[in-house]
Structure 1
Amino acid sequence: MTKTLQNLGNARILLSNDDGIHAKGLSVLEEIAHQLSDDVWIVAPESEQSATSHSLTLRRPLRERKLDDKRYSIDGTPTDCVLMAMKYLMADQVPDIVLSGVNVGANLGEDVIYSGTVAAAMEGAILGARSIALSLRPDDQDESLFHWDTVAKFGPEVITKLATWDEPGNLLFNVNFPGIPVEKVKGIKVCAQGHRDEGTTVVEGNDPSGRPYLWVGQFVSHHTSVPNADLTAIAEGYITITPLKYDLTDKELLIKMGPLFP
């Protein structure tokens, strides 16, 4: 179980992501982490691993590459990276906190099921560290634009409050930053995971030789506005924080199903 931290000055922090070791979001998160602690480690995928969810590499060996002191890449998934860090590279003193991100693109609603960013944080929680997944939504008007200054401004406060909160347990949080400049951010909201009205699209096409193919398309962004949901709050200009857990049991149905198998 994680220990309660009074401050982050002496905390050991592990960073990972699913966008890869050279991703912009990881460098932004590294800058934030170094503001909070002098003991920052980075163990991230060698290449992009978006939407790999909580997958592990089981049918081939993994290889580590040391890039610098406390900085490694792994030729595997985000979950592989956190597992290798906590069970091998940092096994002598495991991290107090795992930070995953900052993802290029939000992880809201059903995104958390597919997200390698969230999975890396979840693996950290499973292995005993307080863990936070962080993602940045693209600009509301220009999807090629990302307001990293918004993350840099509010990230330290969000991470510090979540990491030093005196609630016991291996806590897991999903943080999303809106796609707007600093001055337009309305505040920070703790809210529930939202729900989109539809799922992912499937695109049909033909390759250059004329053979048909199917391609997994974009997530449908439309959702019904529900109070206190992450999809609603971020659309309103708030930074969202959603507490998650890896116990997927539907507790209400568990009780109702009792009479089916007495």
Structure 2
Amino acid sequence: MKPFQRILLTNDDGIDAPGLKVAEVIAAELAEEVWVVAPEHDQSGVGQSISLHSPLRVYHHGERRYAVSGTPADCVLFAMTEWLEETPPDLVLSGVNCGANLSDSVMYSGTVGAVLAAAHLGLPGVALSQAFLDRDAINYAPVSELAAGLIRQLWERHTEHCCWNLNFPDLPLARIKGNRITRQVPGSIRRARLVAGRDGRNLSYHWLTFERDPDSIDHPQSDVVALRDGRVSVMPLRPSRCDDDLADALWQKGEW
């Protein structure tokens, strides 16, 4: 028996991304009905941003399958407003992202941003990301074979928590040792970099990039170390960025 009646599926790599096709198969294993509402183009790195300065356009790509000219968060909000307000999904699934979303990158991820947007609407969500060593030969077998079963386990064992970031290592299935609950340990991004260039009219432009050093992270509960150890990283997320412990401590001291 499938655990969900309806899944809303999105991503940040775009409607034509190979990882989305993988996610559609996973979603079909879990739900009786799957809606795909994904960005028209690649929206990697947009986090939870929404489009306030440009209109949204929607393009029909088949039965319950649409592309939206916006961000992953836009796609979730658009779907919930246009089609699913009266019949909300039981789960919002985002991915499968081309590449891992770990450490500092989690806050920038559009894949994760869609899940957080869903959580703000009271909807449970799961972000799926597949690590790779060679972008030209991405192996989606780990997420393809393991994601549906893992999501079933999470819903059976942790029904009180509804928001997850799952990362799958780039390893043969036989070498994956299992799952590990992880936390977001910063330190993989050392600094931002600008790569300068000139366009066809000799006007300057810059590409923003990062200098990364994930090997510097050695915290045993970090998502980076989990993948390094051959484990699937299972990270619980929360939509609030408030430091609740500090807020409570300062509250006790009173106003000033």
Partner deviation per Cα, 1:37-92 (whole Å, 9 max, x = no partner): 22011000000000011111112221111211111110111000000111222122
How many correspondences in the alignment?
253
Gapped regions of structure 2 (runs ≥ 5)? none
Q: Give the counterpart letter for 1:234 in structure 2.
A: L
Distance 1:189 1:251, change over 3 A: same
The superposition leaves residues 88-107 of structure 1 with CA deviations (integer Å, 9 ceiling, x where unpaired) of 22122010100000000110
Q: Compared with structure 1, are the counterparts of its residues 37 and 30 closer, same or farther at alpha carbon in structure 2 (3 Å cutoff)?
A: same
**What are the residue-to-residue correspondences of 1:15-164 with 2, within 5 Å?**
15-139=9-133, 142-164=134-156
> Is the 2:92–2:115 Cα contact (8 Å) retained in structure 1?
yes
How many Å separate the matches in 2 of 1:90 and 1:256?
A: 40
Aligned-partner Cα distance in 2 for 1:197–1:21: 29
CA distance in 2, matches of 1:75, 1:251: 35
Q: Alignment partner for residue 214 of structure 1, among 206, 210, 216?
A: 206
TM-score calculated relative to the size of structure 1: 0.89
Cα distance in 1 between the residues matched to 2:29 and 2:96: 16
CA contact (8 A) 1:18 1:45 kept: yes
* 8 A Cα contact 2:95 2:128, kept in partner: yes
| Pair 1:176 & 2:170 matched | no
Residue 110 of structure 1: SS of its match in structure 2? helix
Structure 1: tracts of 5 or more residues without a match = 1-6
Q: 1:227 to 1:28 in 2, by over 3 A?
A: same
Give the partner amino acid of 1:29: A
Q: Aligned pair 1:191/2:182, yes or no?
A: yes
Instruction: Decide whether the 8 Å contact of 1:201 with 1:216 is kept in 2.
Output: yes
Q: 189-198 or 95-104: which moved more?
A: 189-198
Q: Is the 8 A contact 2:90 2:124 kept in 1?
A: yes
Identity value in percent: 35
Is 1:248 the counterpart of 2:248 in the alignment?
no
Give the C-alpha shift of residue 225 in structure 1: 0.2
